[in-house]
Amino acid sequence: EDQVTQSPEALRLQEGESSSLNCSYTVSGLRGLFWYRQDPGKGPEFLFTLYSAGEEKEKERLKATLTKKESFLHITAPKPEDSATYLCAVRTNYGGSQGNLIFGKGTKLSVKP
């Protein structure tokens, strides 16, 4: 069964303290791995799509990387406004429909000033 596991469940950082979030996946065939940011009471906000091992994407203080078994979201010198839940999702080979994403439970990030 396709599965996405995110760790840690929660992460508390001091402002400026860099760290990484992990997303490990077990799928029959990966057609894309996605990172989203979700603020409380709001819908997920799209961040990155990664397609193949070795691929990297960057946006401001965030950098996403992908291997054959997992993805990392690296946060460099985080600020309090980076506090949110970060969701990882995968799209697999079968199912056919674009966007039928399987989500992990997310990592809740808190950045203290």
Partner 1 sequence: DTGVSQDPRHKITKRGQNVTFRCDPISEHNRLYWYRQTLGQGPEFLTYFQNEAQLEKSRLLSDRFSAERPKGSFSTLEIQRTEQGDSAMYLCASIGGEGLRPGQGAFFGQGTRLTVV
List residues binding partner 1 (CB under 8 A).
4, 31-32, 34, 36, 41-46, 48-49, 51, 87, 89, 91, 95-106
In the complex, minimum distance from the CB of residue 96 to partner 1, in angstroms, rounded to a whole number: 8
Pair 89, 102: CB distance under 8 Å? yes
Q: Which is nearer to partner 1, 83 or 103 (CB)?
A: 103
| Antiparallel, parallel or unpaired: β 10-14 and 107-112 | parallel
Closest CA to 7 of 27, 24, 19: 24
Q: Which is nearer to partner 1, 18 or 100 (CB)?
A: 100
